[in-house]
Amino acid sequence: MKNILIAGSLMCLSLGAYAKNTSNANHEKNCRMYMEMANTIMKQKQNGLPLIKALEANDSALKQNPDKNMHKIVSLIIRDAYEQPSYSTPSIKEDQLNEFSAKYYLGCISMYE
């Protein structure tokens, strides 16, 4: 629950400034982007990517695109993913992946309602 609140707060920081000037289609696009990021990060975690490598990739992305809000959000998603238990059963991994990415989409889209 704490992670969801933090995620919502961080998303408000990055998306809140744009909320007044964007259409519903852009809201949907932004939220799908967060869902896809969460999906990718969780897949990498499930496939054995060490936490340090995920953090280093995020730091490298910040150097290429100095968006500090995005860096914070991705850091939060990374931390949240790596706090989740690890599973070896493919069906459980798929369920975890779907629930994890849906959490970020739903948290984002609810900001616009």
Type of residue found at 23: S
- Cα maximum dimension of the chain: 44
* Tally of structural domains, the chain: 1
**Tokens representing 34?**
């967060």
Predicted confidence (pLDDT) per residue in 19-44, tens digit = 444 578 889 999 999 999 999 999 99
Residue 69: domain span: 2-110
Tokens matching residue 82: 């790596």
The pLDDT tens digits of the residues spanning 61-93 come to: 999 989 999 999 999 999 999 999 999 999 999
